[in-house]
Amino acid sequence: MTVSNKSASATSKDQNFEKKNAEIRIRYLHAKRTNPAFFSRRIDLSWSIWMFGLEPIGASLDRLTRNDIRYVELKGDHWTSDSGIRSHELSAALAAAGVRVSGACGMFSQDNDLSSPSAYARQNAIDYIRRELDFLAEVDARYLIVVPTAVGRPVAKDTSEVQRSAEALRRCGDDFARTKIRAAIEPIRASEVSLVHTVSDAIRYLEVVGHPAIAHINGDVYHMSLEERNVGEAILLAGDKLANLHLADTNRDALGTANLDLDTVIMAAYLAGMNQEGRFLTPEPLGPFPDPYVLSNSPCNVSIMDELVRKTVSYFREREEIVRSLE
């Protein structure tokens, strides 16, 4: 498929967001022509399974393999030493399904809030992160998503949240270094959390943390569509720091059901090197809940989740193939 300069370029009649997306398209085409080897490897698609709730791990992995997904993002559910799946149980299920772990979605509530005024809650968060890191190292994961404050609490306690959160997370820096797991800070929409809403916020937060082993970002195109000026530009700003990118359409449903410019997301992801080994795009279409953690402790609606995965994966693969064919 050949694209003329006229169709790839922005025109004076385009809206501003279209001009920005056209600029990303031009950059993508130029880079692809200049260094085709950089784009030869396809993106590794994972799936965040905590939305499957209380479903047995084997059933969740089977749903992924039926849709040709070979990586899984786990639910970070080791809140205590006795909670969560054991590594040997997970390893057996992974081996049987032929699936590998991409990473884990850290779950941060007011009970384990890095930014909390309560020293007990902050210590809970530190202990939780350390348990997850030890577990993830045993199953060969690449990243742990860290939310700097409690999800579901959009109003700040005071003006010292960033400092408390950064100090608490810094205490885990040597643990991230020891386990070689990437700390991926996730910017989340302002209606869900009290701080770190954009990629720029995440970069500044990492600077405040100031530990070399805490240096990555987990992007989420749903949150980006609400908080960023342009989703593609936000992906490019994250650049090499981007360990993983969550996917959902602008209604937080399956890809292809709303207004997300997925082609621009894919082009920006390739430009950011997200097709490199150890980096992932991970669908996480949760629905528009103010506290999405409700899904993690609910029974799985099997038919809905089956269709959600099928529609999302098929649409992503279709659009990725079109983007890769551009010349």
Global pTM? 0.94
The enclosing H or E element of 218 equals: strand 216-220
Residue written as token pair 């959390």: 193
Please say if the pLDDT value at position 6 is more than 60: no
The enclosing H or E element of 126 equals: helix 119-138
CATH of the domain at 290: 3.20.20.150
Tokens of 206: 């990492």
* 244 within 8 A of 103, measured Cβ to Cβ: yes
C-alpha span between 267 and 232 (Å, rounded)? 8
Would you place residue 3 in the very low, low, confident or very high pLDDT band (cuts 50, 70, 90)? very low
For residue 3, being part of any structural domain is answered with no
Degrees, nearest 5: CA angle 35-41-42: 125
Please say if the pLDDT value at position 288 is more than 90: no
The enclosing H or E element of 244 equals: strand 242-247
For residue 232, being part of any structural domain is answered with yes
**Amino acid at the residue 307:** E
Report the pLDDT value the prediction gives residue 286, as an integer from 0 to 100. 85
Report the pLDDT value the prediction gives residue 271, as an integer from 0 to 100. 99
Q: pLDDT of 189-208, one tens digit each?
A: 999 999 999 999 999 999 99
| Average pLDDT estimate for 89-105 | 98
For residue 89, being part of any structural domain is answered with yes
The enclosing H or E element of 280 equals: strand 280-283
For residue 203, being part of any structural domain is answered with yes
Report the pLDDT value the prediction gives residue 219, as an integer from 0 to 100. 99
For residue 172, being part of any structural domain is answered with yes
For residue 229, being part of any structural domain is answered with yes
* 110 within 8 A of 79, measured Cβ to Cβ: no
For residue 137, being part of any structural domain is answered with yes
For residue 63, being part of any structural domain is answered with yes
Q: pLDDT of 145-183, one tens digit each?
A: 999 999 999 999 999 999 999 999 999 999 999 999 999
Task: Name the residue range of residue 156's domain.
Answer: 29-313
Q: Cβ contacts of residue 164 below 8 Å, gap of 6+?
A: 114, 115, 116, 117, 122
Indicate the number of domains in the chain: 1
